[in-house]
Structure formats: C-alpha cells, structure tokens
Structure 1
Amino acid sequence: MDKQDFVSLVQDFMDMNLTESALSTPLVELDGWDSLHAVRLLSELEAKTGRTVSIPAFLQANTLNDIHQLAS
C-alpha cells in the first residue's frame, strides 16, 4: 500500500482531513485518535492488504507513518 492509498484509507476511516505531512505527527496529537481507532485501523489494514500486522509492533508505533511502514 503506497502512502497516498494509506492516507486515503485513514481519511475515510477516521473521517478527518489528513495530508501526507500529518503522517509524522505523533498519534497522541491527532484529533480524534484513541485506542478504539487504533484497533479498528489495524483490522482494516489487515483486511485491505491481506497481511497480518504484528500487534506488539503496532502498539509501539508513534506515528501514522510508523503504522504505514508496518502495513507495507
């Protein structure tokens, strides 16, 4: 999944305006981001990519860019 596809997925999923530059923003600074969004995004990424994402690695992610790298 390239970055633009990832940004589009997160925008649709979180119903927020997101740019590629926001991928480096710490997750705790993203409006509306919480643990429920994290779990739902993990599930959605696995469904869209057909790949399993390591839960421990996912939980260590600090930015959306970190999550994108895990899903790529």
Structure 2
Amino acid sequence: MNSLDEFAELISDHVGIPVTGEDLRRNVDEVPGWDSLHVMWLLTVLERETGRRLSLPDVIEAPTLAHVYELAVAP
C-alpha cells in the first residue's frame, strides 16, 4: 500500500465500502455507508497488511480516511 489510490482499493476490496479519492478526504461521518463497524474492519486489515499495530483510539479519532492512511504508513 503505497498510495491513497491503493488505500481506497484496500477499503473497497477488504472492508466492502467503495470509496473514491474524494471520499478519503471527507469527514468520516460524510462517507456514504461508513460506520463504526467499518473502523474495526479497517484496523484489522491495516494491521495485517502493514504488519504493525495501530492505535485504536488514533484510528477512531481520525477525522478522515486519508488521516487513517497517514497513521498506517507513518514511519
């Protein structure tokens, strides 16, 4: 996962919510079909894909999915 496009594809494929680049930059409350259950699925997928643990509170508090991406790929 090296780009926001790949991140959007990961969400669509593994979480089941088709998202666009525009959706990634929206407030998560504005992403069509998104809810708190999807946060847990996304966290699980990201930890599996990156091989590292992510902070659940940080992911929950992320204002956008793009911010979640930054948390996942941050050094």
Misfit runs of 4+, over 6 Å: none
2:62 corresponds in structure 1 to 61
Aligned AA for 2:67?
A: D
Shift of 1:15: 3.7
Work out which of the residue numbers 7, 13, 16 in structure 2 matches 1:14.
16
2:6 corresponds in structure 1 to 5
Q: Give the superposed CA RMSD.
A: 1.2
2:40 corresponds in structure 1 to 39
Shift of 1:61: 0.4
Shift of 1:19: 2.0
Q: Secondary structure at the match of 2:45?
A: helix
Structure 1, gaps ≥5 residues long: none
Q: TM-score, normalised by structure 1?
A: 0.87
Deviates further, 38-47 or 5-14: 5-14
Relative contact order (alpha carbons < 8 A, sep ≥ 6): 1 or 2 greater? Answer: 1
Shift of 1:24: 0.7
Aligned AA for 1:62?
A: P
CA distance in 2, matches of 1:15, 1:24: 15
Structure 2, gaps ≥5 residues long: none
Pairs aligned (count) = 71
Q: TM-score, normalised by structure 2?
A: 0.84
2:71 corresponds in structure 1 to 70
